[in-house]
Amino acid sequence: MTDKPLKKVLIVCAKGALEDVYAAMVLGNGALMEGIEAKMFFTFFGLDAITKKQMNKLHTATLGNPAMRMPGGLPFPSILGMLPGVEAGVSLMMKKEMEKLDIPTIEEFLEMIVAGGGEIFACKLAADMFKLKKEDFSEHVKDIITVGQFYQLASGDGTQIIFV
C-alpha cells in the first residue's frame, strides 16, 4: 500500500473472451467514475472488442475455464465446451444475465469511457498482424499506437498499468 494517490491507469486488454473484455471495460469506466485518468490499450485478440465486425460477437470461454459453473453452482465439465453450440449457448446466457443487470454493451462502454475523458488505443503490431486499419475499428478508437507510445502514456507519478 502506498500513500501516493492513484492518478492514472493504463489498462491492457489482450484477450477477446466476453468476460475478459468486460473486466477491462468495467475497470476503465470505474476508474473514470472515481476521477482517475484512464487509457485503454487493446492488443492481440483483445482487438476483437474494438473491431466493428467482431465487437458484438464476443463469446464466453468454455474450454479450459475452471471457474465456469452450471446453473445451481455445479462445476461445468470443460469437455462439454467442445460440443457444437455449447459455447454459443453459454455466451447467450451470460449476455442475458448482463442485460438483466443493465450492464452496458461493449459499444456503450466505449462510448461512456470516451465521454468520460478516457482514451481507447489499438496496438499497431497486432493491428498489422491481423491486417486491420483505422477504419476497421470503432469510432471511439483514438489511434493505433506502438508499445513504445503506450509506455509514454504512463509517464508521471501515480500511474498504474493493469493487464487484463
The H or E element containing residue 120 is: strand 119-123
- Across 99-105, average pLDDT: 93
Tens digit of each residue's pLDDT (9 = 90 or more) over 108-154: 999 999 999 999 999 999 999 999 999 999 999 999 999 999 999 98
**Helices and strands of the chain, counted as H and E runs:** 5, 5
What are the residues facing 143 on neighbouring strands? 121
Say yes or no to pLDDT of 163 above 90. yes
Go through the chain and tell me how many residues it has: 164
Cell numbers 438483466 correspond to what residue? Answer: 100
Using CA atoms, how far apart are residues 18 and 64, in angstroms rounded to an integer? 15
Instruction: Note whether 158 and 5 are within 8 A (CB).
Output: yes
The answer to whether the pTM exceeds 0.85 is: yes
Domain spans in the chain, listed from the N-terminal domain onward? 8-63+75-163
Least confident among 51-55, 65-69, 126-130:
65-69
Q: What is the pLDDT of residue 105?
A: 94
CATH of domain 8-63+75-163: 3.40.1260.10
More confident residue, 156 or 11: 11
Report which residue type is found at 113: I
Using CA atoms, how far apart are residues 52 and 9, in angstroms rounded to an integer? 25
Using CA atoms, how far apart are residues 82 and 63, in angstroms rounded to an integer? 7
CA angle (48 as vertex; 10, 145 as ends), nearest 5: 45
